[in-house]
Amino acid sequence: MLPADEGRRQHPRGAISLADKLGDFTEYWQPHTVAEFNGHDIMVVKAKGEFVWHKHDETDDLFLVLRGELTIELRDGSATLRAGDLFVVPKGVEHRPVAREEVHVLLIERSGTPNTGDRSTAQPRRVV
């Protein structure tokens, strides 16, 4: 390991199966980090029902639907995403993800970004 790499998590060589990672947990709205990339967490989350209205003042919010259907409600409309669809909520825009049935989503966020936009109400980060 090079000195610049000290303190960084090392991942085993090889591909990461997102399906396997999603099979490792059952709870909703609790992102699980599967990898790190240039100071960002790559996470998977299972969702069902309504999340809270929130915004991220310092970062955009990226959603990539892997399975199912997710609606991103905005104060002035909504976007419905299906498997393979990606949506980016610009920083500072209030939004609420909603899933009528279980949906699997890939998220990419700057490491340490609270999922609710507020550290006091955010779910702790989990690694799978």
The pTM for the full model equals 0.81
- In this prediction, residue 12 carries a pLDDT of 61
Query: Buried b vs exposed e over 92-124: b needs ≥16 C-beta within 10 Å?
Result: eeebebbbeeebbbbbbbeeebbbbbeeeeeee
Tell me: the pLDDT tens digits for 39-52? Answer: 999 999 999 999 99
Class of domain 15-127: mainly beta
Q: How confident is the model at residue 13 (pLDDT cuts 50, 70, 90)?
A: confident
- Going from N- to C-terminal start, the domains of the chain cover 15-127
